[in-house]
Amino acid sequence: MLKQRVITAVLLLLVLLPALFHQDSAPFNSLALLFIAAAAWEWARLNGYGSPASYLVAALCASMCAGLWWAGWLAQALPQVWLLTGAAWVLLGSWVLRAGVPAWGQFNRGFRLLVGLLALVVTWLAVAQAKLIGTNFLLSVFALVWVADIGAYFAGRTWGGRIVQRKLAAAISPGKSWEGVGGGMVAVLLLAWAWTRFDLWAQPAAPSFYSHLAERGVAFAVIACVFLAAMSVVGDLFESLVKRSAGVKDSSKLLPGHGGVLDRVDALLPSLPLAMMLYTF
């Protein structure tokens, strides 16, 4: 399993890194579009659609993203889009997690498909706009999600044998705890401090997400980072809830050793649009 994970990760990096650091954003946006289309295929399967319909959903998702690209949305400020998306994740996402696994299956299958499709398309739009702002900006948002997850993992492992852990959502993801979430938030704050120091030293062409937040004050930056770290957990838990409702462990086997695309981007689904919301406003 470890060998598969390493090989898959290396291959993905060989494909993604040249596109990520290319001056033209088109190669990276195209790769991101393919990944989002694959995630849409997985989403359809998780919500009870068969093979032909799932491929049609993937094609529809890719077409919607390409249509927004062609219409020039990538270069437009979209505060209303980010605000509506952020509100939906905060309100509806929190409600679904509170209602639990059985509640998700009670929604109409078409409604569930639409929710996921819109979330994926908006996430691609956020990725593409963040890449246009600058690679440093995009990487800093990615890193927030990665560090929040890593910090939560090590905090849970460190405190697990010393104190009684308070489960975050035992029925959805038994391994997650409030202590882990707290550790992830602390890790994100340390990352934000270090990245703003790096920006001051390196003077990159595009400041990081954290430097943009810091322009509005330390208090605002701290609250925003903690908020995004929390919402990354919401995205992770939401996908876990959908998988439990479908009775599967992974969203697919597209990425050997890692599961599916949704398993890798779940925490980014709320975090990227919300980061763009904070940046835009």
Rounded average pLDDT per 10-residue block, the chain, 281 residues: 71 86 93 97 95 96 97 93 94 85 88 95 97 96 94 76 62 78 93 96 94 95 96 92 91 86 93 95 80
Length of the chain: 281
Residues 74 and 138 sit within 8 Å (Cβ to Cβ): no
* pLDDT score, position 162: 53
* pLDDT score, position 200: 95
Structural domain harbouring 60: 2-280
* pLDDT score, position 172: 80
Count of domains observed in the chain? 1
* pLDDT score, position 251: 92
User: In sequence order, what are the beta bridge partners of 255?
Assistant: 259
Residues 181 and 227 sit within 8 Å (Cβ to Cβ): no
* pLDDT score, position 227: 96
- The rounded distance, in Å, linking the Cα atoms of 103 and 94 is 13
User: In sequence order, what are the beta bridge partners of 165?
Assistant: none
- The rounded distance, in Å, linking the Cα atoms of 30 and 47 is 26
- The rounded distance, in Å, linking the Cα atoms of 192 and 170 is 30
Instruction: Kindly state the tokens that stand for 258.
Output: 């890692």
* pLDDT score, position 89: 94
Instruction: Compute how many other C-beta atoms are within 10 angstroms of the C-beta atom of residue 70.
Output: 9
Helical segments of the chain, H only: 2-20, 26-46, 51-70, 79-88, 94-99, 101-106, 109-133, 135-160, 178-202, 209-214, 218-246, 261-265, 268-280
